[in-house]
């Protein structure tokens, strides 16, 4: 297949590009690199079947066809990023999603939206099934991301219902693994970076809030299964149903890194979800998907990757325009 991956320079997007190439697909990676990392893609540059297009999907997404699938992952996805890029986050959830949908509709391609567990907000129902409508503050500090994804789901559903576009939605829960950005503000990368540097591990609140951590390889298997499931609309929760407190995660990272770092507490941010755990019965039944990597093993791999990293440097990726010409 020829698969277009928007946001393909990011943490999840680069892993998806790699997995698609590994199984023999042709990949067009579209990203403006506002939060993506060029070095995530440097090992793919020059690989048969891979093309990088530096473009802003909120302005246009015109990829020469035929296109067989579009995986729409483009969006800032960590709190510091979507707070800093608030208007861009709303734009990529709205205009960017519609441009990606138009591309899929043009060629009769499968469209998969990477939505998020944030559509559930600070959930009043636990654990969270797909039928739950959520508890989102539309004017809160996290609203630009939450509402952008909720709108993207509504737009995706409308294209399916009104135009017959073959769409599917996955709701991604906390995911971790190699290629996370050290300063992206997510709890796993924060703890590992702090532990390896001997800094205090910052726990917000009392650390009793819970999350469900899914290793990136497992998550990518779920997205691939959704791409390969024409006709299934979702939404499907993709996440690890093993619930763990943030304090437990901090202690585990300290053990795995053998770090002397102590744990310090800071005030809990506004609208931070207290509990988060997916119900994945639908994904098990319809996609044959469930996470397989235990958190201890996944964290060991992630810690090893962080240890091996050089200080962040720019690694330019040869870019082309959507028409295949060198980008300016």
Using DSSP bridges, classify how beta strands 243-245 and 210-212 pair: parallel, antiparallel or unpaired.
antiparallel
Q: Which of 82, 120, 132, 145 is catalytic?
A: 145
Q: Which domains does the chain have, with CATH numbers?
A: 2-177+214-240+277-292 (3.40.50.720)
DSSP state of 151: H
- What is residue 312's predicted lDDT score, i.e. its pLDDT? 38
Whether the pLDDT of residue 309 is over 90: the answer is no
- What is residue 310's predicted lDDT score, i.e. its pLDDT? 58
Do 136 and 146 meet the contact criterion of CB atoms below 8 Å apart? Answer: yes
Percentage of the chain exceeding pLDDT 70: 94
pLDDT, mean of residues 11-16: 98
Distance in angstroms (rounded) separating the CA atoms of residues 327 and 307: 34
pLDDT, mean of residues 64-84: 94
pLDDT tens-digit series, residues 147-172: 999 999 999 999 999 999 999 999 99
The order of strands in the sheet holding 236-238 is 50-54, 26-31, 2-6, 69-72, 110-116, 166-172, 236-238
Whether the pLDDT of residue 139 is over 70: the answer is yes
pLDDT, mean of residues 259-264: 95
DSSP state of 293: S
State the residue for tokens 């990757």.
305
- Going through the chain in order, the beta strands assigned E by DSSP cover 2-6, 26-31, 50-54, 69-72, 110-116, 166-172, 175-176, 201-204, 210-212, 214-215, 236-238, 243-245, 263-266
Mean pLDDT over the full length of the chain: 92
pLDDT, mean of residues 123-131: 96
pTM: 0.92
Cβ atoms within 10 Å of 42's Cβ, excluding its own: 14
145 is catalytic: yes
């Amino acid at each position: 297949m020829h698969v277009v991956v928007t946001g393909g320079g990011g943490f999840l997007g680069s892993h998806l590009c790699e997995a698609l190439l590994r199984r023999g697909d042709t990949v067009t990676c579209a990203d403006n690199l506002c939060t993506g990392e060029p070095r995530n893609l440097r090992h793919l540059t020059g690989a048969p079947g891979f093309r990088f297009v530096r473009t802003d999907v909120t302005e246009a997404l015109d990829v020469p066809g035929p296109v067989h699938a579009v995986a729409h992952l483009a969006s800032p996805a960590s709190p510091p990023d979507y707070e800093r890029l608030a208007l861009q986050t709303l734009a990529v959830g709205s205009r960017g999603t519609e441009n990606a949908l138009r591309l899929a509709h043009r060629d009769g391609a499968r469209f998969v939206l990477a939505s998020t567990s944030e559509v559930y907000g600070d959930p009043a129902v636990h654990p969270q099934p797909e039928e739950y409508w959520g508890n989102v503050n539309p004017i809160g500090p996290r609203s630009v991301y939450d509402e952008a994804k909720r709108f993207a789901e509504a737009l995706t559903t409308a294209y399916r219902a009104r135009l017959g576009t073959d769409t599917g939605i996955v709701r991604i829960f906390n995911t971790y693994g190699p290629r996370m950005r050290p300063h992206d503000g997510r709890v796993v990368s924060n703890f590992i970076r702090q532990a390896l540097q001997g800094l205090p591990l910052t726990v917000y609140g009392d650390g009793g809030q819970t999350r469900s951590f899914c290793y990136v390889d497992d998550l990518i298997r779920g997205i691939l299964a959704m791409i390969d499931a024409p006709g299934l609309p979702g939404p499907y929760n993709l996440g690890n149903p093993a619930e763990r407190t943030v304090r437990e995660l901090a202690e585990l990272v300290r053990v795995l890194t053998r770090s002397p770092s102590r744990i310090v507490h800071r005030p809990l941010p506004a609208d931070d979800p207290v509990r988060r755990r997916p119900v994945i019965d639908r994904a098990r039944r319809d996609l044959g998907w469930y996470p397989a990597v235990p958190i201890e093993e996944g964290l060991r791999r992630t810690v090893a990757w962080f240890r091996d990293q050089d200080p962040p440097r720019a690694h330019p990726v040869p870019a082309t325009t959507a028409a295949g010409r060198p980008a300016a």
